[in-house]
Amino acid sequence: MELYNYIKSLHLIFVITWFAGLFYIVRLFVYQIEANQKPSPEREILLKQYKIMTYRLWYIITWPSAILASFFAFWMLFFTDLGSVWLKMPWMHVKLGFVFVLYLYHLKCHQIYKQLQNDDFKYSSNFMRLWNEGATLILFAVVFLVILKNAFNWIYGVIGIILFSVLIMLGFKFYKRIRERNKS
């Protein structure tokens, strides 16, 4: 059991650093997209710096954290006695579904990262601000699933995620209005 707690702790640490990397990389995407709209030489200076920052964040923190979080999760699930119990629980199946969605989100971020590294700007900064909330929704869903486990009421959970999404969208619209007002 003691080994399990060490593995679980390492899993949690790398989940936290993975999410931190995902939250920050998309914020850097916003800055990089907005820097591309600046006049020369400011644009070139900022873009060069953001490329360095995103490269370091992506390959030194975010990807290793994703891999290590998954490594320790597999270790807990497949090489400990408690893991076999968790795998029989319905909430764990749902959690693993969210982890799959998180990896899809991560891979899409990787695609956007590569595009921006090649000066291919396909998305607006507003899109990236909304995109950043995808990881937030997944984080909320997973944390509530893990904490509440079998006590989780699916109807309230779905309603809660929908309401949370609506609040995020309203907050985004409010923030956008403030930014537009400050530009005038």
pLDDT in tens, 95-112: 899 999 999 999 999 999
Report pTM: 0.85
Query: Per the annotation, does 11 bind a ligand?
Result: yes
CA 178 – CA 175 distance, rounded (Å): 5
Residue boundaries of the structural domains of the chain: 2-152
| Arithmetic mean of pLDDT, 108-127 | 96
Average pLDDT over residues 111-133: 94
SS3 assignment for 171-184:
HHHHHHHHHHHHHC
Outline where DSSP puts E strands in 30-116: none
Please say if the pLDDT value at position 160 is more than 80.
no
Which 3 state secondary structure label does DSSP give 128? helix
Q: Are 53 and 64 in contact (CB under 8 A)?
A: no
* pLDDT at position 151 over 70: no
Query: 68 pLDDT exceeds 70?
Result: yes
Q: pLDDT value at position 165?
A: 79
Q: Could you give the 3-state DSSP secondary structure of residue 38?
A: coil
Question: How much is the CA Rg of the chain, to the nearest whole Å?
Answer: 19
